[in-house]
Structure 1
Amino acid sequence: MESLPEQVLRHIVDVHCHPTDAPSISAESMERLKITVCAMSTHKADQSLVRDLATSYPTKVVPCFGYHPWFTHTISVGLRSSKYEHYRELLLGDKDSSPETISAFDELLPLLPEPMTLDEVILDLRRNFASFSSTTAMLGEVGLDRGFRVAFDYHAFPRRLSPFTIPLEHQLTILEAQIDLAVELGRNVSLHSVKCPLATVDLLNKLKIKHGPRWERIRIDIHSCSMNPQVWTALQKGHTNAFLSLSTVINSRSNNMKALITACSSNRILIESDFNDIDVCTERCIEMLKIVADVKAWSTEESWLEGVPESDWGVVRRLEANWKAFRDGGEKL
């Protein structure tokens, strides 16, 4: 992958990546990093890892605190119950189960953690946000995923999946509570949405009515957006605070990637790596940047000059302006 000079790289923002997921992260790799990255957390154990990374590299890392839909089964939304009762009710429900399903549940249960309560999750997020200003920390990664199945061991490779999915209503309850906190604190959101575009749109419409003018204070980024271009067009018309970001690791699998770039307003598009190896994030972002430049017919800066008129901006300047509008929220838009 052809790189870009350091003076250009300093203006690129990877709006969604997972560097604390990789054992390869090191002081040397962080020193080599020339772009800015938004580091996502996803479950209980990595909230502190993201916080520590951002504290160590405040000019390079935007910390993002949140609980990913893949781990929402570990959160109880009601009164605290026993581990068995929580997971049995959530994963098995009231339906008659086959012997194979019961056997899978019996194998999975000892591998699952004691559930947290939703109140504990919100308190944890509130504490982390208190350590960072509204422009230096956001909510993420949170969202909805209709297709995910709970893994027997998430960190194993290859990952063996159980037959159990997490009910969408359970995911929605946890997501809404997290976004409610983001609205209260004026925090932007990196949102995961897989195989549930209508549920995502319905929730955003509900939150817009629920929070009124405060909804416009925050920005929502649909990360690695895989929505139909027509769905996205309607969403960006209905929500002036909605952005999308794209990654080659996810979006290059889709036939509608270029149509989605075309449909997205030029001031609402962002780029990301969605990668866990910090040494590869820059390369993945440059890949996506050049695809956006090609589709939008924007030039790519090969050097950096100050005072360039907007009419002569290339893709890096345009994406940087989009990031600043996203980062700064309603007051600056």
Structure 2
Amino acid sequence: MKLFDAHCHLQDPRIFHKAPQLIESTVDSGVRHFAVNGVSEKDWHLVKQMSEHYSSVVPCFGLHPWFIHERTPHWLHTLKEFFQAAPSAAIGEIGLDKGSRGREIDFADQVEVFSQQLKLAKELNRPASIHCVRAFGDLLEILKSIGPFPAGVILHSYLGSAEMVPELSKLGAYFSFSGFLMSMKTQKAKKLLKMVSSERILLETDAPDALPKSGLDSLFLVDGDPSLRQEFHAQEENSTSNVGTPSDDQSHASKDSSALPKEMLNHPANIHNVLIYVASLLEMPKEELADLSYRNAVRIFSYEGSKVQMEK
């Protein structure tokens, strides 16, 4: 199986020093490409360097809504310079956020910065990877006012309503699913997935965030070795020995990734867990979903100058 991680952050300071090992082990697992998204002026150069060193990395430069208050007066000019220097780059991560972190930042300011970057995506004829939290109504109106987007827009870690899918699709939207989908009620997630046409489904990890809520033994750990898992199991056995034999439900829950420390980071190879989960909801063989999602990602990232090539 070939897989394409449509959205991640391997330049994130929490894992950047481990990126070589993470990329190697993930490529060994079948992942051919990573769309690595910058989030601010502070990390665009890291994304560029990573893409120059690894043929599997597709660079994406963008100003994330969480960081727009840190931007310099010349941020847009700097952003354009990065696209000139890296012709293989896409736009991302950009977007809108009315969630707990987004509320700290003026929404009108978010809209202005987001709109400027969407217009740049149209000008460059490049796809844009979009973050949206509790602002889908605003997002739709802005996309309508600037779009449509022939080069595509990627709604990353999509958790919006199923009802909005048709309108967003008409504007050129692709829907990318990560481990965050596991936080949605199963029936709601099924309804959402059924509304997305097979030509518009993408898979991602959003690593180092969005750790899938999967069985602990099926997860790749960022440390790259089993020591942390063994340590966790040792702690688990020690705690249960003090309270007696756990029930089946307790035993099952303890082996779920939700029992791991909150600071546990997501490994990009865990895209396999996302694949298995989404395939199960779609009642589709994982091999079929891997193939169609890979081809969708190759198509959207196969623009002029891209290192990703359309496959026949």
Task: Deviation per CA, 1:249-284: give whole Å up to 9, x if none.
Answer: x22112232221111111101010011259654442
Q: Residue 132 of structure 1: which of 65, 68, 86 is its match?
A: 86
Tell me by how many angstroms 1:230 deviates. 0.6
Give 2:144's aligned residue: 205
Instruction: Report the Cα distance in structure 2 between the residues aligned to 1:17 and 1:61, rounded to whole angstroms.
Output: 10
* SS, match of residue 217 in structure 1: coil
Give 1:297's aligned residue: 283
Q: Residue 24 of structure 2: which of 24, 27, 31 is its match?
A: 31
Task: Deviation per CA, 1:37-60: give whole Å up to 9, x if none.
Answer: 111111121111111111110x21
Give 1:195's aligned residue: 134
Task: Deviation per CA, 1:16-67: give whole Å up to 9, x if none.
Answer: 111111244243333333122111111121111111111110x210111001
Say whether the 8 Å CA contact 1:139–1:190 is kept in structure 2.
yes
Q: Residue 251 of structure 1: which of 168, 172, 181 is its match?
A: 181
* SS, match of residue 11 in structure 2: helix
User: Kindly tell me: are residues 268 and 130 of structure 1, through their superposed partners in 2, closer, same or farther at Cα, counting changes over 3 Å?
Assistant: same
Give 1:179's aligned residue: 118
Say whether the 8 Å CA contact 1:39–1:50 is kept in structure 2.
yes
Q: How does 1:137-148 map to 2 (within 5 A)?
A: 137-148=89-100
Instruction: Report the Cα distance in structure 1 between the residues aligned to 2:104 and 2:96, rounded to whole angstroms.
Output: 12
1:323 matched to 2:297: yes
* SS, match of residue 324 in structure 1: helix
Instruction: Report the Cα distance in structure 1 between the residues aligned to 2:100 and 2:124, rounded to whole angstroms.
Output: 30
Instruction: Report the Cα distance in structure 2 between the residues aligned to 1:258 and 1:166, rounded to whole angstroms.
Output: 33
Instruction: Report the Cα distance in structure 2 between the residues aligned to 1:298 and 1:324, rounded to whole angstroms.
Output: 21
Instruction: Report the Cα distance in structure 2 between the residues aligned to 1:205 and 1:278, rounded to whole angstroms.
Output: 43
Task: Deviation per CA, 1:50-97: give whole Å up to 9, x if none.
Answer: 11111110x21011100100011223xxxxxxxxxxxxxxxxxxxxxx
Say whether the 8 Å CA contact 2:190–2:282 is kept in structure 1.
no
TM-score (norm 1): 0.68
* SS, match of residue 20 in structure 1: coil
User: Kindly tell me: are residues 167 and 295 of structure 1, through their superposed partners in 2, closer, same or farther at Cα, counting changes over 3 Å?
Assistant: same
Tell me by how many angstroms 1:235 deviates. 2.0
Say whether the 8 Å CA contact 2:176–2:201 is kept in structure 1.
yes
Give 1:86's aligned residue: none
Tell me by how many angstroms 1:297 deviates. 2.7
Give 1:235's aligned residue: 168
Give the aligned CA root-mean-square deviation in angstroms: 2.1
* SS, match of residue 294 in structure 1: helix
Q: Which amino acid aligns with 1:245?
A: S
Q: Residue 196 of structure 2: which of 233, 241, 264 is its match?
A: 264
Tell me by how many angstroms 1:165 deviates. 1.6
Instruction: Report the Cα distance in structure 1 between the residues aligned to 2:206 and 2:23, rounded to whole angstroms.
Output: 17
Instruction: Report the Cα distance in structure 2 between the residues aligned to 1:221 and 1:278, rounded to whole angstroms.
Output: 29
